[in-house]
């Protein structure tokens, strides 16, 4: 990175850090937001350069932030007396390895949307709670260590966090969107793309979403929920995922009860606000389980199942309600 780029990027980064400063932010959350904000500052710099697609192709490696900056050395100090500090820890945080290689201005804009979505999720987590601290610790392992297992752990725990906050009266909770999760996986973990692009997988994730975060969100906004909230669904699927047959059985039980609830509500209220699942859906998901393993499929189902509803699906649901 040349001096001009360094100067411009660091100037943006310092402004972002200043705007981000919060009196209650601890080192764990600060580690995460600093990494994400630097990537955001670098993408801003690349976007402002006004490169055309030919320029992107010519210098594609130098445009990826993790190919230019390895990360940050972090030192923590403790105040021993009025005028004396001592260093208590030194570590190194790698820049996220999942931004991919932007090949056009559209790629840069898409990556900025991913970063902004993750920042919104992280900012809303209360680190003073034990579950919030564990969530942030898992996410830091992901963002600074490219540990996808840690991200799946975070996604499963954050699903419970979403339901808890809605249950406490929060009308809106920041969540991931399926489209941005897809961009993240496309950029950094392409072997998983066949799973998330599978129609059966998408339909089962839709059913999980409409059994958890969607009815709980409607309940928090005091809207007609119609369907019961399945609070422990994500935890049960994660627990059963260690054994293939137990996971498939748990998934089949959920699908059967999901369709049964649809039929009962339609008979009793003449309303249906969500789609039924088909036999082909479970067949496709079982095939994915046999190919990729139950833990990977379960983790992705939970991540996508507790994501927010895509805009086109929200429109479809509203039309069904009318």
Q: What confidence score (pLDDT) does residue 203 get?
A: 96
pTM here is 0.86
Confidence label for 28 from pLDDT (cuts 50, 70 and 90):
confident
Res. 20 pLDDT band, cuts 50 70 90? confident
pLDDT digits 0-9 by tens, 72-131: 999 888 888 888 888 888 889 999 888 777 777 888 888 899 999 999 999 999 888 889
Residue whose structure tokens are 């919060």: 22
* Mean pLDDT value of segment 160-185: 90
- Whole-number pLDDT of residue 32: 93
């Amino acid at each position: 990175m040349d001096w001009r780029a360094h100067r411009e990027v660091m100037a943006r980064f310092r402004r972002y850090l200043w705007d981000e400063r919060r009196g209650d932010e601890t080192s764990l959350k600060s580690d995460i937001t600093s990494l994400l904000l630097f990537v955001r500052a670098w993408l801003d710099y690349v976007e402002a350069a006004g490169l055309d697609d030919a320029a992107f192709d010519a210098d594609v490696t130098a445009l990826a932030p993790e190919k230019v900056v390895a990360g940050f050395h972090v030192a923590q100090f403790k105040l021993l007396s009025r005028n004396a500090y001592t260093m208590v820890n030194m570590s190194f945080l790698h820049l996220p390895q999942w931004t991919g290689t932007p090949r056009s201005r559209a790629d840069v804009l898409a990556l900025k949307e991913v970063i902004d979505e993750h920042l919104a999720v992280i900012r809303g987590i209360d680190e003073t709670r034990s579950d919030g601290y564990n969530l942030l610790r898992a996410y830091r392992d992901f963002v600074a260590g490219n540990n996808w297992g840690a991200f799946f752990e975070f996604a499963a725990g954050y699903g419970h966090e979403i339901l808890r906050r809605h249950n406490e009266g929060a009308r809106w909770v920041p969540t991931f969107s399926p489209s941005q999760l897809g961009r993240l996986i496309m950029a950094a973990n392409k072997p998983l793309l066949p799973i998330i692009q599978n129609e059966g997988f998408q339909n089962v994730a839709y059913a999980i979403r409409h059994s958890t975060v969607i009815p709980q969100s409607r309940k928090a906004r005091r809207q007609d929920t119609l369907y019961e909230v399945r609070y422990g669904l994500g935890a049960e699927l994660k627990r059963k995922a260690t054994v293939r047959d137990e996971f498939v059985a748990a998934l089949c039980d959920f699908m059967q009860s999901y369709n049964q609830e649809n039929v009962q509500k339609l008979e009793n209220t003449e309303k249906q606000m969500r789609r039924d699942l088909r036999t082909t859906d479970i067949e496709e998901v079982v095939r994915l389980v046999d190919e990729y393993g139950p833990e990977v499929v379960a983790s992705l189902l939970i991540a996508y199942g507790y994501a927010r509803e895509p805009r086109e699906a929200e429109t479809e649901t509203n039309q069904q309600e009318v």
